[in-house]
Amino acid sequence: MSDYRAWELDPLVLFADNHLLAVNKPAGLLSQDSGTGLGNLEDWAREWVRVEKGKPGAVFLNAVHRIDRAVSGIVLFARTSKALARLNEDIRTRRCLKRYHALVEGSPEQAGAELVDWLSHDHHMAQVCRPSDPGAQRAVLRYQVIRQVRGLALLAIDLETGRYHQIRAQLAARGMPIAGDGKYGAVRNDEAGSIALHHRRLEVVHPTLKETVCIEAPYPSVSPWWSLLD
């Protein structure tokens, strides 16, 4: 890939230094190579580093976390092996904050709550299950209703655990599917396949400076969901 600008769909670099790169992923773009030959954010980010930072040859770049193709928002990459190891450990020990915004169908019964479930997944879908079920993993999140907008509720969601499709499955199990998420029972859908889930804020400890880095991602500029907030 010779020119990263030629396929810059709308990703926006939110933070960059010698150790970290944070990018605002558009919905519909894969976070990483899936083996299908489709464009993905990691390849775009690696090319951005090569061009913008003048890095000849192979570029070290690894995703610290990923978000689903249908989801938009922050994806953080480590630019050094030391940064990757330290950030992976911080995520494992929950020394970070991951906040999402979601527009959901239905009416939340409470203005805010902590949701604790056990999840299993199969056939590219997660479901709430019993703790004793094979593959069950504990899933915890907290949500707060920000406001109501055009028949949807805007939630701020803090993840304590990072399970497969966790937010989508836990909210849907309580009658609050994310708008656009037909897989989990949403009525309102987008032909392009995006869902109204956005990784809005990330707080991590910088791997070398040991200072908290706060990263915020604006909503996608073109979206059937986030334009409802205008």
Q: Which residues are catalytic?
A: 68
Per-residue tokens: 153 = 């509720």
Exposure string over 42-78, b if 16+ CB within 10 A, otherwise e? bbbbbbbbbeeeeeeeeeebbbbbbbbbbbbbbbbbb
Per-residue tokens: 10 = 């709308």
CA distance 209 to 18: 11
CA distance 85 to 64: 9
Cα torsion 176, 146, 114, 185 to 10°: value is 10
Burial of 35 (0-12, 13-18, 19+ CB in 10 A): exposed
CA distance 34 to 65: 15
Exposure string over 100-126, b if 16+ CB within 10 A, otherwise e? bbbbbbbebeeeeeebebbbbbeeeeb
